[in-house]
Amino acid sequence: MKISDLKRRKLLQYGFMSLGAFLGNTLLPSPLKAATMSLSIATHGKLLPPDHNGVRLPAGFTSRIVAHSGEKLFDYTWHAAPDGGATFASPDGGWIYVSNCELENQAGGAGALRFNAQGELVDAYSILTQTDRNCAGGHTPWQTWLSCEETDKGQVWECDPFGYKPAQARKSLGLFRHEAVAVDTRNKQLYLTEDKPEGRFYRYTAHSFDTVGNPNLDDGVLEVAEVIDDGIGTVRWHALTDPSAANMPTRKQIPHSTAFDGGEGIWYHQDFIYFATKGDDCVWVFDIQKQRLSILYNAASCLSPVLTGVDNITGNTAGELLVAEDGGNMQIVVLSGDDVLPLLQVIGHDRSEIAGPALSPDGSRLYFSSQRGKTGNSADGVTFEITGPF
């Protein structure tokens, strides 16, 4: 089934998201509304003129550039083409921000910035090298970074954000054009997106677990989603017999699996999986308990959409989504309750994309990169930190 057919039914079902939603920028009924009643990033008001770093922010927020591509930071040269990222708490009260490098021809990988409890940069180092087009990835509850290769036989690499242990390829998660991964902390399953115009939505279930209950990423079954053609978005899962794609690409192994137009970022929160598709500028929500898929945001249903070029996704503890734009208006946009509102905008980087949004473990700072900076060249990436009343 084509996903456009599902979207057409959904738009009819919700009456084009009501006239107000069509004319403006509001969301379909979703779990976000209940989750964001007590705390909201979206209440901080309009964006001010750009600051000295070219970043437009609401009142009370400030920006800092923490790294430039090619800059020597301690013993590490900050990588070109910074992409997906995440943060990890460190024992000293500080935290680590990891960032992928999306270069090809074995020049990709991932690096890390370590901050102390006061937010000072105290170290920088590599956590993965000699890989290809490391795009986005995912943070695991057992405190590792899953770095995804966006190539036809791309792998997921499990990395130690502290840089102590060597990265490991997790081939049971499939060989395909990986984009991102999210872990369902309740059921210990992993959900994965594929960045192809006919990409698929995948789920990994481990057969075994370690002594503390974490899933074995080398021993499990990879499944692909089929959205059942009954107009309600019910999802059925089909096991792949060849996750290594030795004989056929994973997306083609189950003919009745559902195609998604360019899978991008993905995020888990309280029994829901959210993911973006760039080809149709949609953000989807999968209800794990009900096994139902819905459209949360569709730019095509807005006359003047605030959010376009949907890409990486992260979220806060209140359940609000922060969606980065690849192109678009170079914004990070908050999906909160019924609202679609810009949190920030980077000015003068029109040939770049926003990548790797991640909140610090205490939620007080936001990290992200402009992958190609002002010039549009991958060697000119810029990594930012935003501080404010998140």
H or E element at residue 72: strand 72-73
Contact indicator for 228, 234 with CB cutoff of 8 Å: yes
CATH number of the domain enclosing 303:
2.120.10.30
Residue with tokens 């549009």: 376
pLDDT score recorded for residue 41: 78
Domain count, the chain: 1
7 or 325: which leads in pLDDT = 325
pLDDT score recorded for residue 14: 34
For 247, phi then psi, to 5°, come to -115, -20
Residue span of the structural domain in which 289 resides: 3-387
Whether the predicted model's global pTM rises above the 0.75 cut = yes
Full DSSP string of 112-135: EEEE-TTS-EEEEEEEEEEES-EE
pLDDT digits (tens, 9 = 90+) for 328-341: 999 999 999 889 99
pLDDT digits (tens, 9 = 90+) for 234-289: 999 999 999 999 999 999 999 999 999 999 999 999 999 999 999 999 999 999 99
Name the token pair of 156.
Answer: 């997921």
Q: In what order do the strands lie in the sheet with 292-298?
A: 263-269, 272-277, 282-287, 292-298
Please give the Cα distance from 257 to 250 (Å, whole number).
Answer: 10
**pLDDT category of residue 302 using cuts at 50, 70 and 90:** very high
pLDDT digits (tens, 9 = 90+) for 19-37: 334 335 656 555 665 444 3
